[in-house]
A and B are shown apart, each in its own frame.
Chain A
Amino acid sequence: METVIAASQPEVTVEALYRQDGERLWRAVFAFSGDAEVASDAVAEAYAQVLRRGTAVRDPGAWTWRAAFRIASGALKARRAGDRLPTVLSEHIDRYEDPDLLDAVRRLPDGQRAAVILFYFADLPINQIAARLGSNSVAVRANLGRGRRRLRQLLGDD
């Protein structure tokens, strides 16, 4: 997945970026948050921030992913006190053909959940996951390993 975007026309090119990458980002944030409203708000806010900042953002493709995950994470923290998502998933999950997977994903802590989604769905390497989460490679490795094992336990894939 590459981001090709010219810097001279921010609005036009950011929309091009959205058309190219926005759906995939939305799905990833939805898998992370388990909430379509959170996903839509986070993705819209991320692209709005890129639009506002224009050429100050040098890599809009990576930037929007990081921003969207941070926004979604903040929204989730505001909604709950614990480290797990609410037990009732968004109704949007009914439109997903593998609800068991998302149900298992939502049981992971934030860090593991984000690492698993970016690794398995977004197909990013460890370094890129770290950069997009504002974390580091070792933490991502740890979260990915734990998240994967926990996920397989929950899905009965052991």
Chain B
Amino acid sequence: MDKLRQRFAALDRMPVPDVWSDAMRRAEELTMPAATGAKVTLASPTAVARPRSGAGMLVAVLVTIALIAILAVGGLAVGSWFTDQQRLAPVVAPSATATLPHATPRSAAPSTVPAGAAGPLIVFLRHGQGSGHPPADLWAIHADGSGAEDIFPGLGLPSVAWSPDGKRLLAVSEYRVYLAQVTGDGVGPFVDTGFDTGGATACNHKTGHRNPCQDAAFTFAPDGEHIAFVQRCTWSAPGCMFITTMDLRTGERTELTETQRNARHGVALPAWSPDGSSIAFTTETNQFLSESEVPIAKLSIVDADGRNLRRLDLGNLSVAAPQWSPDGNLIAFTSGAWLGDVFVQDIYTVRPDGSDLRQLTTDGVSAWPEWTGSNQIRFRHGGAGQQADSSTTIWLMDPDGSNAHQVAELGTTWGEVANQMSWIGVPGDPGRSLFWQPAP
């Protein structure tokens, strides 16, 4: 056993106070009436960690009343509209906040962030501050920094993904899948699909773990009707993390359990090939970065039906954030390594058969490539550590690494929003803190 691990194990012999009675007392306090004397009913977990101001509460109540009134007159018009547009079945009608058990959409009306007028939309999560487990708000902003708006407050364990055509936005909150249409009028409303990603899995019987698996790293298939994501069922049973796909028309899940083969801890960051036939992803291995106990992540590809798993031999490169080029001929990815005491990361490309490996950047601070509709690579440059922050810049380059140039400076372009970048991110979804709307 590692010496450090042995020393930490000694913590297990340390006496510990029993704080259960404190927890019970605190839980009772949390349910007590507010200091004003008014009884406050906290209908959703969101409200617990994000107490509203008096004005905020009034607005929320008025919005809810207005929603109910509108929907009573309109005969669930919004739900019908969405169902017609997306052919989803079953869809829980977004008739009132009560139909959304895990989160509440901001309103039934489209957001005030018009899509397209000022460049593509960028959505990101801003995690709440303070104690407890503050939920995240989903924000949208234009690339030019205009129109920042909170479009879906109060997501728990959130994930986000754009459809390939940029016309639908998927948000996952507490295992529940929500979808919003994105038109020239804006984003939303988010509609509860009724689909739950955390149901019984292939690992339940193995572990006796009755809680849902955690899920992360959602990505759309090219057909816009399927998604892939990482399902993490337990960390105590090796191999109980794998890629899962879901049909957004029916909610049917398919577990690609073969993807866990050869994975030390798990799999991450699936990316669907443009023709829909394959899914690239990363697996943590038993190999380690030099002078480090940090496992190397390898790039693997599997057929979309879960067969024909193959791992690409990229030497000692540790791979993150694989992304297919629009023509499917290249996969761009980030690879990080220790250089002395500094963790450096750069962008590479490789063909899906493992050939023609190329390093596109050499500055050590370039990461998280995304392909644009014009077959360029957009990537993040700089920032504090591995997180985007107000010093982060956005760059574009050609697929061979040439013609690299800066296109946005978050701190300047996005003002106050960028100043809170340290709270932006998606747990378990490295680097994809900024989700650019694909070109329609």
CB of B23 within 8 A of CB of A137, answer no
CB of B131 within 8 A of CB of A74, answer yes
Interface residues of B in 408-434 (CB under 8 A from A): 425-431
| Any B CB within 8 A of the CB of A56 | yes
Interface residues of B in 162-219 (CB under 8 A from A): 174-175, 198, 207-212, 214, 216
CB of B174 within 8 A of CB of A56, answer yes
Query: Which chain A residues lie closer than 8 Å to B19 at the CB level?
Result: 22, 26, 40, 43-44, 47
Whole-angstrom CA separation of A52 from B27 in the bound complex:
6
CB of B431 within 8 A of CB of A15, answer no
CB of B236 within 8 A of CB of A126, answer no
Given contacts A40-B17, A157-B3, contact A128 B232 (CB under 8 A): yes
Q: Mostly helix, strand, loop or mixed at chain B's interface?
A: loop
Stretch at the interface among B7-15, B58-66, B73-81, B397-405: B7-15
Query: Which chain B residues lie closer than 8 Å to A1 at the CB level?
Result: 235-236
Given contacts A1-B236, A137-B428, A152-B4, contact A45 B345 (CB under 8 A): no
Whole-angstrom CA separation of A118 from B110 in the bound complex:
42
CB of B20 within 8 A of CB of A139, answer no
User: Which chain B residue shows the least CB distance to A25?
Assistant: B16
CB of B236 within 8 A of CB of A137, answer no
Query: Which chain B residues lie closer than 8 Å to A60 at the CB level?
Result: 211
B 324-339 to A, binary, CB cutoff 8 A, 1 in contact else 0: 0000000000101010
Whole-angstrom CA separation of A135 from B214 in the bound complex:
15
Query: Which chain A residues lie closer than 8 Å to B345 at the CB level?
Result: 138
Stretch at the interface among B144-152, B289-297, B350-358, B370-378: B289-297
Query: Which chain B residues lie closer than 8 Å to A19 at the CB level?
Result: 20
Query: Which chain A residues lie closer than 8 Å to B25 at the CB level?
Result: 48
Query: Which chain B residues lie closer than 8 Å to A144 at the CB level?
Result: 293-294
Query: Which chain B residues lie closer than 8 Å to A75 at the CB level?
Result: 131
| Any A CB within 8 A of the CB of B254 | no
Query: Which chain B residues lie closer than 8 Å to A57 at the CB level?
Result: 45
> Nearest chain B CB to A147's CB is how many angstroms away?
10
Given contacts A56-B102, A146-B343, A152-B4, contact A27 B26 (CB under 8 A): no
CB of A45 within 8 A of CB of B132, answer yes
Query: Which chain A residues lie closer than 8 Å to B114 at the CB level?
Result: none
Whole-angstrom CA separation of A79 from B241 in the bound complex:
39
| Any A CB within 8 A of the CB of B346 | no
Query: Which chain B residues lie closer than 8 Å to A51 at the CB level?
Result: 23-24, 27
CB of B336 within 8 A of CB of A120, answer no
Given contacts A58-B175, A97-B13, A142-B386, contact A49 B214 (CB under 8 A): no
Partner among A4, A71, A127 whose Cβ is within 8 Å of the Cβ of B268: A127
Query: Which chain A residues lie closer than 8 Å to B29 at the CB level?
Result: 48
The interface of chain A, by Cβ under 8 A from chain B, is: 1-6, 15, 18-19, 22-24, 26-28, 30-31, 36, 40-41, 43-49, 51-53, 56-63, 66-67, 70-71, 74-75, 95-98, 101, 111, 117, 120-121, 123-128, 130-131, 133-139, 141-146, 148-149, 151-152, 155, 157
Given A24-B12, A43-B23, A124-B235: 7 more A-B contacts, CB < 8 Å: A18-B20, A48-B22, A70-B134, A120-B5, A133-B427, A136-B427, A149-B341
A-B contact pairs, 27 of them (CB 8 A): A15-B20, A18-B23, A22-B19, A28-B11, A48-B22, A48-B24, A49-B133, A51-B23, A52-B30, A56-B44, A56-B101, A70-B133, A71-B131, A95-B15, A98-B7, A111-B385, A117-B8, A126-B295, A127-B265, A127-B284, A131-B214, A131-B216, A131-B427, A134-B127, A138-B431, A141-B289, A151-B4
